[in-house]
Amino acid sequence: MTQPRVLIFDTTLRDGEQSPGATMNVAEKLAVAKQLARLKVDIIEAGFPFASPGDFEAVQTIAGEVGLPDGPVICGLARATKGDIEAAAKAIAPAAKGRIHTFLATSDIHMKYKLKKSRAEVLSITEEMVSYAKSFTDDIEFSPEDAGRSEPEFLYQVLERAIQSGATTLNIPDTVGYLTPGEFGDLIRGIKANVPSIQKAVISVHGHNDLGLAVANFLEAVKAGARQLECTINGIGERAGNAALEELVMALHVRRQYYNPFFGLPVESEAPLTNINTQEIYKASRLVSNMTGMLVQPNKAIVGANAFAHESGIHQDGVLKNRLTYEIMDAQSIGLNNNLIVLGKHSGRNAFRTRLSELGFELSDQDLNKAFLRFKDVADKKKEISDRDLEAIVNNEILQVAEHFKLDLIQVSCGSNAQPTATITVRMPDGRDLTDASVGTGPVDAIYRAINRIVDIENDLIEYSVQSVTAGIDAMGEVTIRVRNGDRIYSGHAANTDIVVASAYAYINALNRLYAAMQAGVAIHPQHANVPVGTGV
């Protein structure tokens, strides 16, 4: 099936969410899905519906609210079993355009040690389960797990069987991030040459970044004929992550003249090679970072804080004379700007709402009131409010987990010759207000020790970081922390002009996530398949 451009299949809400500590609740997933729709991705893999009631609800909610006729395809992941496929079908049912993505391992090592199935059995299961999925929707994607290490001739047989059974997209995953660009390109070329019915399906690719080659692999696959790329915002995902959406899209955008001939287009063609609205990239990156608690490294391509910064005198001189001397793309092309809005403590609610709308935030009256009160509080402390400040306010006040534990008082005493001491009051899930105090090696340590005396949930703090939202002495500080409970990691995030206060709220945010997970039980993910089914990602 020939595609005139590359389809962008975003799996931030499925594979990306499986990053340790990146679990999102339904409201957070919905917020990310809405931003992905503004970004104009072609397909959103909204989750793994069979994993848990929460995952099912998230996929179903996104299907109903984001899966509109002019919106993206909403996809649900399913192992090659009837239970998984039925759950995915029910979850995506509200979408105008729904897809079931089912998968089955095809490498010898996976078939022998994980599936405990023969090649004949895998061929049979592929035919049966793809046909079963087809009974629910016409849009079926099939993935031969660990295709990169599968024996080619057997892989061709499985793919042909999937097409004949109704698959319209064939996804070729480098599940363990093992292949090099040349090998990945050869794999796609081999499939095109040896699968008889390949023209009836779109070839997709999925890959992990264990060797730092995911983006390079995908671009080579595009040259070989792949026309769907499965990627995530900021490249988040299992282990070292997935291919980064922003890097793939901007590579195809900036180097369009190089890639045009592989699409049968004239070199000078200005036709876009993806449907992505690139000016929504930076906003998507910030939102996913805030929702997951996974910070973007400063030197990250495209969306890192230093991506458009120049410190070298030679570079600065060249950029001042002509930006093209050291910049191959405009920062505004990804939606990055440093505009300051003319809003302050005397600004009205309508002006506030208007600017948020321009930034892509559509809030209910209740959420607007909540964010507006926080805006007024910040405006009393800052002379200038930037778009980044507004994003931090909205993300901090609106897109948060349920407050099972709520901070009512934070009081800290510290100094060069004083013992840091914190007094904390926490409203408990049963409505009681409990107060306690503690000393620590510093103000943040004292706060965390005091909270732990009240909220008795076992956890280990494994990461603590602070970033300023904007420049200046009055900048808001964003605090991100990660805590471990058993083999699970939970993140917390908060922003405030007082980083000590932000630290307290970030910790409570993480504890609320941990508590919610304990109440709901542990979700099943394909990588943690704790149900007696012989399949997994």
472 — phi, psi (to 5°)? Answer: 110, 155
Query: What does the pLDDT read at residue 220?
Result: 98
Please enumerate, by residue number, every residue annotated as part of a binding site for Mn(2+).
15, 206, 208, 242
Question: Which amino acid type is present at position 464?
Answer: Y
Of 266, 34, 37, 141, whose CA–CA distance to 26 is shortest?
Answer: 34
Q: Considering just the CA atoms, what is the radius of gyration of the chain in Å?
A: 24
Contacts of 505 (CB under 8 A, 6+ apart): 396, 407, 479, 492, 494, 496
Query: What does the pLDDT read at residue 321?
Result: 52
Of 100, 5, 84, 85, whose CA–CA distance to 46 is shortest?
Answer: 100
Q: Per residue of the chain (537 residues), give pLDDT as tens.
A: 556 899 999 999 999 988 877 878 888 899 899 999 999 999 999 999 999 898 999 999 999 999 999 999 999 999 999 999 999 999 999 999 999 999 999 999 999 998 999 999 999 999 999 999 999 999 999 999 999 999 999 999 999 999 999 999 999 999 999 999 999 999 999 999 999 999 999 999 999 999 999 999 999 999 999 999 999 999 999 999 999 999 999 999 999 999 999 999 999 999 999 999 999 999 899 889 888 878 888 899 999 888 876 444 444 445 445 555 546 788 888 887 655 455 666 667 888 888 887 776 777 888 888 888 888 888 887 766 777 788 778 777 766 677 899 999 999 999 988 999 999 999 999 999 999 999 999 999 999 999 999 999 999 999 999 988 776 777 788 899 999 998 888 888 888 889 999 999 999 999 998 998 888 765 555 544 444 333 334
Distance of alpha carbon 318 from alpha carbon 431, whole angstroms: 61
Q: Determine the Cα angle at 227 with ends 222 and 231, to 5°.
A: 85
Buried/exposed code over 498-523 (b: 16+ C-beta within 10 A; e: otherwise): ebbbbbbbbbbbbbbbbbbbeeeeeb
Strand partners of residue 7? 228
Contacts of 164 (CB under 8 A, 6+ apart): 127, 197
Distance of alpha carbon 486 from alpha carbon 480, whole angstroms: 20
Query: What does the pLDDT read at residue 535?
Result: 34
Predicted TM-score (pTM) of the model is: 0.85
Tokens standing for residue 219: 């671009």
Query: What does the pLDDT read at residue 332?
Result: 83
Instruction: Indicate the domain borders of the chain.
Output: 7-255, 406-520
**Which single residue is written with the structure tokens 């058993």?**
486
Q: 527: exposed, middle or buried (C-beta count within 10 Å: 0-12, 13-18, 19+)?
A: exposed
Contacts of 521 (CB under 8 A, 6+ apart): 52
Distance of alpha carbon 14 from alpha carbon 233, whole angstroms: 12
Please enumerate, by residue number, every residue annotated as part of a binding site.
15, 206, 208, 242
Of 15, 489, 388, whose CA–CA distance to 235 is shortest?
Answer: 15
7-255 maps to which CATH number? 3.20.20.70
Buried/exposed code over 391-427 (b: 16+ C-beta within 10 A; e: otherwise): bbbbbbbbbbbeebbebeebebebeeeeebbbbbbbb
Which CATH number is 406-520's, of 3.30.465.10, 3.30.365.10, 3.30.160.270, 3.30.70.2860?
Answer: 3.30.160.270
Distance of alpha carbon 298 from alpha carbon 311, whole angstroms: 14
Query: What does the pLDDT read at residue 18?
Result: 85
Q: Determine the Cα angle at 347 with ends 346 and 351, to 5°.
A: 170
Is residue 428 a contact partner of residue 405, using CB atoms and an 8 Å limit? yes
- Do the strands 477-485 and 460-468 form a parallel or antiparallel pair, or are they unpaired? antiparallel
Establish how many alpha carbons lie within 13 A of residue 429's alpha carbon, considering only the half-sphere containing its beta carbon: 10
Distance of alpha carbon 130 from alpha carbon 142, whole angstroms: 7
Buried/exposed code over 213-235 (b: 16+ C-beta within 10 A; e: otherwise): bbbbbbbbbbbbbbbbbbbbbbb
Q: 497: exposed, middle or buried (C-beta count within 10 Å: 0-12, 13-18, 19+)?
A: middle
DSSP code for 532: S
Of 250, 228, 241, 242, whose CA–CA distance to 9 is shortest?
Answer: 228
Strand partners of residue 426? 407, 434
Tokens standing for residue 389: 């400040």
Question: Which amino acid type is present at position 498?
Answer: D
Q: For the packed helices 214-224 and 245-254, what is the interaxial angle rounded to 10 degrees?
A: 50
